[in-house]
């Protein structure tokens, strides 16, 4: 039977899904570089790549937070009417991620 996963087909949903996918993809590259650097700690090229992707990810996370809601507690857009960190859906629901 259907899992009841709430699919959303508006433009805003599609933009949110796409941005979250891009963040996950870049963060994955960062994780791979992180593990590689743990065993290759003097690889300058890898460190430069890490720096580049880290800046890209931070920029995207800030954009996502402003448009849709928080992903990390260290970047929370303080809209004092609602503590979105808790009230928005959680990722295991399968909505956006």
Partner 1 sequence: MQEWKPQMPYMEQFPVAMAYVPWQKNCNMYENLDDAFKTGTVFPELNKPFTGRRVKG
Partner 2 sequence: MWNYEKRLQFPVKITQTNPQIAQVIISQYGGPDGELAASMRYLAQRYTMPYNSVAGLLTDIGTEELAHFEMICAIVYQLTRNLSPEEIAKSGFDKYYVDHTLALWPQAAGGIPFNACEFQSKGDVITDLTEDLAAEQKARTTYDNILRLVKDPDVCEPIKFLRAREIVHFQRFGEALRIAQENLDSRNFYAFNPEFDK
- Where do contacts with partner 1 occur on this chain (CB under 8 A)? 24-26, 28-29, 32-33, 36, 43, 45-46, 49
Query: Which of the residues 34 through 63 are near partner 2 (CB under 8 A)?
Result: 34-36, 38-41
The verdict on 85 binding partner 2 (CB under 8 A) reads yes
N-term to C-term CA, the chain: 21
Q: How far is the CB of 94 from partner 2 (least distance, A)?
A: 4
Is 83 among the residues that bind partner 2 (CB under 8 A)?
A: no
Please report whether residue 22 would count as binding partner 2 according to CB under 8 A.
no
Contact 57, 27 (CB under 8 A): yes
Q: Is 26 exposed, middle or buried (0-12, 13-18, 19+ CB in 10 A)?
A: buried
Q: How far is the CB of 41 from partner 1 (least distance, A)?
A: 13
Tell which residue, 66, 68, 63, 93, has the closest CA to residue 77. 66
């Amino acid at each position: 039977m259907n899992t009841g996963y709430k699919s959303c087909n508006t433009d805003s949903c599609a933009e949110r899904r796409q941005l979250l996918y891009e963040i996950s993809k870049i963060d994955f590259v960062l994780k791979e570089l992180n593990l590689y650097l743990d065993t290759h700690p003097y690889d300058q090229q890898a460190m430069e790549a890490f720096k580049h992707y880290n800046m890209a990810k931070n920029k995207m996370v800030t954009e996502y937070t402003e448009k849709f809601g928080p992903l990390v507690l260290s970047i929370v857009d303080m809209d004092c009417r609602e503590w979105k960190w808790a009230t928005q859906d959680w990722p295991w629901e399968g909505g956006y991620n």
